[in-house]
Structure 1
Amino acid sequence: MNYKIGEKVTFMSEAGYAVIQSFKDANTVIIQDETGFNRDYPISELVKIQSENYAGGGYADKDNIEYEAEIKHTIKEQRLDFDTTDKQQVWEIDLHMHEIVEDDSAYDGGAKLRKQVREFKAFYKNARKNHIRKIIAIHGVGEGILKNEIRTYLDTQEFLEYYDADYREYGKGATAVELQYK
């Protein structure tokens, strides 16, 4: 991917953002991170930020347009640990690319991640709108980038608690979110 001096970028393996200051060599740039420090960084670990609305720590939706999830989610009925009365709906979403799009060959790594994050945000907002009390996001294990992006987004939301989903059912690749309402 071609980068230019002054472009905003985010990292594939850590939270935050930076601005490209200069090119050290063909594989390394000098960036200024959000804290104002300059450091060398491998070009292969950077992703362009496509929106000026980026606030750091995650991907902004382009132009703040409401994004409608294209992905199907599963609805289960189960008795929630925190509610012993009736069974409640639990929504589950699988964020693996092959579940989101039929052919992901047109997506590079950064575009895949942005698509997955947009799908999760739309899913989350839809669950809130429908007063769902628990959702499960299946993000896989991998390098943990998608999991980190999801949890960074959840940290900006109110009235919820999240944790690793049941290991027996999902392994280490899912996050459970309990939503609370006033």
Structure 2
Amino acid sequence: MSNFQIGDKVSVLDDAIDGIVIAVNSNQITIETEDGFPMTYFVNELVKNNISNDLKGFISRDTISQVKAEKQEEKKRSFTKEKKSSRDVFTLEVDLHIEKLVPSKKGLNNYDILTIQLDTAKRQMEFAIRNRIPKLVLIHGVGEGVLKTELEFLLKRYENISTQEANYQKYGQGATEVYFLQKKV
């Protein structure tokens, strides 16, 4: 049963067509377009236009008085500066899932996908080192462990880094944290 009635103003979802319902037949609705043409659509292709110039139906008096009262109240602003702990340092997160790296994986075989993921990880490692970013999280997912194994092999090539499993609550088992041990300048 549809919730459309004769006389309702409606719009077609996938077209720029508006009209007025002139017939309701089960799940099919016939409308007369603004140009005077009758057209039939299914119920799920139409949406009602509830245009009303009567704002009382949308806003209650209580809401208006609450808003006025809130506007008149003077709110004190707090200027206390939050202290950041050493754990709150900037973290570069890199999601290595192939869907995040290329618009479409169509036509890519497993070797191509792994190569793209490892090249991205290497570029982000170099970027983090160049810009003295203290922490990098490589999100590799769980899967069969091929990408994780290759990342471990890649990370062994770098000096002055330490790695560990990333925060389980935030990333699950599918991420590795890389800390860059930087010398003071």
TM bin (shorter chain):
0.5 to 0.7
Q: In the alignment, what sits opposite 1:127?
A: 128
**How far has the Cα of 1:156 moved from its partner?**
1.1
Q: Counterpart amino acid of 1:117?
A: L
**How far has the Cα of 1:181 moved from its partner?**
1.2
Mapping for residues 21-100 of structure 1, pairs under 5 Å: 83=86, 87-100=88-101
Q: Counterpart amino acid of 1:129?
A: R
Q: In the alignment, what sits opposite 1:109?
A: 110
**How far has the Cα of 1:148 moved from its partner?**
0.8
Give the unaligned 5+ runs of structure 2.
1-83
Alpha-carbon distance between aligned partners in 2 of 1:137 and 1:99, rounded to the nearest angstrom: 13
Query: Greater helix share, 1 or 2?
Result: 2
CA RMSD between the two structures: 1.3
**How far has the Cα of 1:89 moved from its partner?**
1.1
Displaced runs of 4 or more, over 6 A: none
Alpha-carbon distance between aligned partners in 1 of 2:164 and 2:101, rounded to the nearest angstrom: 23
Q: Counterpart amino acid of 1:100?
A: L
Give the unaligned 5+ runs of structure 1.
1-78
Larger Rg belongs to = 2
Q: In the alignment, what sits opposite 1:181?
A: 182
Aligned residues between the structures: 100
Alpha-carbon distance between aligned partners in 2 of 1:129 and 1:106, rounded to the nearest angstrom: 34
**How far has the Cα of 1:102 moved from its partner?**
0.8
Alpha-carbon distance between aligned partners in 1 of 2:118 and 2:182, rounded to the nearest angstrom: 23
By relative contact order (CA 8 Å, sep 6+), the higher-ranking structure is: 1
- SS of corresponding position for 2:90: strand
Q: In the alignment, what sits opposite 1:45?
A: none
- SS of corresponding position for 1:99: helix
Alpha-carbon distance between aligned partners in 2 of 1:128 and 1:89, rounded to the nearest angstrom: 13
Q: Counterpart amino acid of 1:159?
A: N
Q: In the alignment, what sits opposite 2:156?
A: 155
Alpha-carbon distance between aligned partners in 1 of 2:157 and 2:128, rounded to the nearest angstrom: 16
Deviation per CA, 1:14-44, whole angstroms, max 9, x where unpaired? xxxxxxxxxxxxxxxxxxxxxxxxxxxxxxx
Alpha-carbon distance between aligned partners in 1 of 2:98 and 2:148, rounded to the nearest angstrom: 14
Deviation per CA, 1:107-150, whole angstroms, max 9, x where unpaired? 10011001100000001100100000000000000011101111
